[in-house]
Amino acid sequence: MDKHNSIDHQLRATWQAVAKMYNEQAAKHNSTMATAFALLNIDFEDGTPSTSLGPLMGMEPTSLSRLLKSMEDKKLIFREKNPNDGRSVLIRLTDFGKEMREVSKGHVYQFNNKIREFLSENELETFFKVTTIINKLISDRLIYKDDIDKKAV
């Protein structure tokens, strides 16, 4: 199969281009795309339990710990005991973290708005439908025969 007609190639190449673009923007603010993504996933007012942040971002605990330590060092976040659950910690944004969250949000809006200038509503609906189907097929383990056979048992 020609790689240009391969769905996974197009997804990977597009995501790599998007990630590179976001990392270039983040670097202008002495940051990374991962940091910006974390800022966007932390509740602006109430903070977010550290145990919820990893699944929200699709990150493994070790990677998340390193990212949070870096964000703490940069004074973007602070940790606070969760008043509703003494065993867990809330990740909260500092004033600087809130400021940088707004910068990140602005870049996301700018990207989305620019793409929307070049696509019709119908094309966007089709894009979201296709990505939803791909995600569902993967999460339901319906891509590979050995996964399908295991489900039938």
Query: What is the DSSP-derived secondary structure letter of residue 89?
Result: E
Distance of CA 115 to the CA centre of its chain: 18
Per-residue model confidence (pLDDT) at position 152? 61
pTM > 0.75: yes or no:
yes
Question: What's the CA gap between 11 and 69, in Å, rounded?
Answer: 31
First-residue to last-residue Cα distance in the chain: 32
- Read off the pLDDT of residues 63-102 as tens digits, 9 standing for 90 and up: 999 999 999 999 999 999 988 888 889 999 999 999 999 9
**Residue 69: C-alpha distances to residues 3, 51, 62, 96 (Å):** 39, 15, 11, 16
Please say if the pLDDT value at position 1 is more than 80.
Answer: no
Strand-pairing partners, residue 89, are 81
